[in-house]
């Protein structure tokens, strides 16, 4: 007896709320673009350049006292944030001190870091310095360019793969779904001002791979059913294919989310942004493979495969269906 989260014979009409699902996605994508330009991304040290010092103390963090102690050093833009985590006990108080890049220097001078540590130690004798990370302006600029190229290159390679394996309508559906997933993720990070660093770029690439995997599974079943049901309307073929793969989709996404939620709760603040991005990406990726990619294919129509004879279609060589 096997577990069934989704019945085998589901007959959900995924297009019954197309105006709400597809239209809602367009609205959210537009809002994501607005959020990106209105709030911008909270770039981490990888993209912004500068130095981040992570401190730990048994005493509660006094951000104002830290800032006052560092002001005489004239370091420019200094951001001090207290890090909260459910796994931290009352005797573990963590803060991150971020300093802007100092001119064209690739890293803050050791003397400057030593002066900062001395100033914060004067405020809190129990403070310890867990890590120090520095990225110069030149390196951060190169990382931004490389990050953009990596995401665009991954999407481009996937589109070529889909185009070769399926027809061009499926490729367009796949690229719209991928842009939807990446766009909503970036918009959410801009809205919530979650730190955006190289780990998030890795998460975006993971989201792209996961989303396209789910989309290809649905597209494979669509292609099979187009050959099997030669006179069935395209919208019914798409609905049938989504229902037939729904159990697999929910099982795969569900088990992945279980692991991600465990990491989100217990993994600590260091990887929380990365795990949050993938968790959100799994949700929107599953959604887009069902509600976005198929809608695009339905709008564009597909050419039927008449390589196998069907008595009801003798004499016909091609058929293009739209809405």
The CATH number given to whatever domain includes residue 111 is: 3.30.70.2040
Whether 309 maps to a domain, the answer reads: yes
Closest CA to 259 of 286, 238, 282: 282
Q: Which domain holds residue 87?
A: 50-135
Cα 260 from Cα 82, distance rounded (Å): 24
Q: Are residues 64 and 203 in the same domain?
A: no
Helices (H), the chain: 18-39, 45-48, 63-70, 110-123, 137-165, 168-192, 198-228, 234-266, 272-291, 293-300
Q: Give the pLDDT confidence score for residue 140 in this predicted structure.
A: 65
Cα 288 from Cα 124, distance rounded (Å): 50
Q: Are residues 94 and 164 in the same domain?
A: no
Q: Give the pLDDT confidence score for residue 307 in this predicted structure.
A: 53
Q: Are residues 221 and 89 in the same domain?
A: no
Q: Are residues 182 and 63 in the same domain?
A: no
Q: Give the pLDDT confidence score for residue 93 in this predicted structure.
A: 86
Q: Give the pLDDT confidence score for residue 183 in this predicted structure.
A: 92
Whether 118 maps to a domain, the answer reads: yes
The CATH number of whichever domain residue 174 belongs to comes to 1.20.1640.10
- Angle 199-200-204 (CA atoms, 0-180°, nearest 5)? 120
Q: Give the pLDDT confidence score for residue 33 in this predicted structure.
A: 93
Instruction: Please check whether residue 210 is in contact with residue 284, taking contact to mean a CB–CB distance below 8 angstroms.
Output: no
Q: Are residues 144 and 260 in the same domain?
A: yes
Residue appearing with tokens 């002001």:
71
Domain count, the chain: 2
Tell me the residue length of the chain: 323
Q: Is the dihedral of CA 59, 120, 88, 193 positive or negative?
A: positive
**For each successive 10 residues of the chain (323 residues), what is the average pLDDT?**
65 84 91 92 77 85 85 79 76 82 66 85 87 70 80 83 82 89 92 86 87 86 86 88 86 87 80 89 89 88 60 39 41
């Amino acid at each position: 007896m096997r577990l069934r989260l989704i019945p085998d014979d589901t007959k959900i009409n995924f297009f019954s709320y197309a105006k709400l699902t597809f239209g809602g996605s367009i609205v959210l994508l537009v809002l994501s673009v607005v959020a990106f330009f209105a709030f911008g991304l909270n770039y981490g040290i990888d993209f912004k350049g500068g130095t981040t010092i992570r401190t730990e103390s048994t005493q509660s963090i006094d951000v104002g006292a830290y800032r006052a102690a560092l002001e005489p050093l004239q370091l420019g833009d200094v951001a001090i944030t207290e890090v909260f985590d459910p796994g931290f006990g009352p005797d573990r108080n963590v803060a991150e001190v971020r300093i802007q890049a100092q001119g064209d220097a690739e890293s803050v001078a050791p003397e400057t870091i030593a002066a900062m540590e001395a100033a914060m130690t004067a405020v809190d004798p129990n403070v310890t310095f867990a890590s120090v990370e520095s990225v110069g302006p030149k390196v951060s600029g190169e990382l931004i360019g490389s990050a953009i190229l990596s995401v665009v290159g991954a999407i481009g390679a996937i589109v070529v793969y889909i185009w070769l394996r399926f027809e061009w309508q499926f490729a367009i559906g796949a690229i719209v779904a991928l842009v939807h997933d990446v766009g909503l993720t970036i918009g959410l990070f801009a809205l919530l001002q979650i730190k955006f660093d190289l780990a998030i770029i890795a998460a975006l690439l993971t989201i792209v791979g996961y989303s396209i995997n789910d989309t290809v599974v649905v597209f494979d079943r669509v292609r099979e059913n187009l050959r099997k049901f030669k006179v069935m309307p395209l919208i019914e073929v798409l609905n049938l294919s989504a229902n037939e793969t729904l159990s697999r989709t929910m099982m795969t996404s569900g088990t992945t989310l279980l692991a991600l939620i465990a990491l989100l709760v217990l993994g600590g603040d260091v990887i929380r942004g990365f795990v949050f991005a993938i968790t959100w990406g799994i949700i929107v990726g599953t959604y887009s493979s069902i509600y976005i990619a198929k809608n695009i294919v339905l709008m564009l129509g597909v050419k039927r495969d008449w390589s196998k004879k069907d008595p009801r279609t003798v004499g016909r060589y091609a058929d293009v269906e739209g809405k």
